[in-house]
Amino acid sequence: RCTTARRLLLHDSIHDAFVERLVAAYKQVRVGSPLEPGVLCGPLHSKAAVAAFEQGVEDVRAQGGRILCGGRVLGDLPGFFVEPTLTSIAHDAPVVLREVFAPILHVSRYADLDQAVQWNNQVAQGLSSSLFTASPEHMFRWIGPEGSDCGIVNVNIPTNGAEVGGAFGGEKETGGGRESGSTAWQQYMRRQTCTINYSGALPLAQGIKFE
């Protein structure tokens, strides 16, 4: 999905244990035809997408990151199949800041919420974001004006989760429009501004008078 997370920011207090469990989960992902029962990860859409995946993996290593899981093209499968890939890398590495459009998830550790929000907002894209927390204070900071700058700002659901009635769309390089939700009707309308003067007089702007 276009809303699938590419960056995972983990607090220092949970980072190591979380990554260990996440690697174990990644190793259980079946790759293959999405028409087969039990398959979670299907193919990429083209040879160019596979090349972008390979370049992304190469960039991770070149920019000081590590491949925690995956990282290979599955040439034994007919089609454009790659392994879902998990990395450990600095939050501001160039490969992390750009969209590769491949199943690569970059993991970084943070110290406090202010730092996490800053890192979330430092990229040029802004479609979807999620915060997982039990703190109401952190929740309202995240969804408020000083929080995430994405068009979709979730709490305790994944980035690819979206309510059917919610407005869908992003900010920054991910666009500024919205589909569905309360603005859906605007897609089918021609908007115009209409002002009617019933006074019988002709008021002029800025108090201008012709004498």
In this predicted model, what pLDDT tens digit does every residue of 118-134 receive, in sequence order? 999 999 999 999 999 99
How much is the pLDDT for 197?
84
**Tokens 């110290």 map to which residue?**
111
How much is the pLDDT for 166?
81
Q: Cβ neighbours of residue 58 under 8 Å, at least 6 residues apart?
A: none
- Confidence (pTM): 0.86
Does residue 39 contact residue 31 with C-beta atoms inside 8 Å?
yes
Spell 34-61 as b/e; 16+ CB within 10 A means b: eeeeeeebbbbeeeebbebbeebbebbe
Does residue 103 contact residue 112 with C-beta atoms inside 8 Å?
no
Is residue 192 scored above 90 in pLDDT? no
Is residue 183 scored above 80 in pLDDT? no
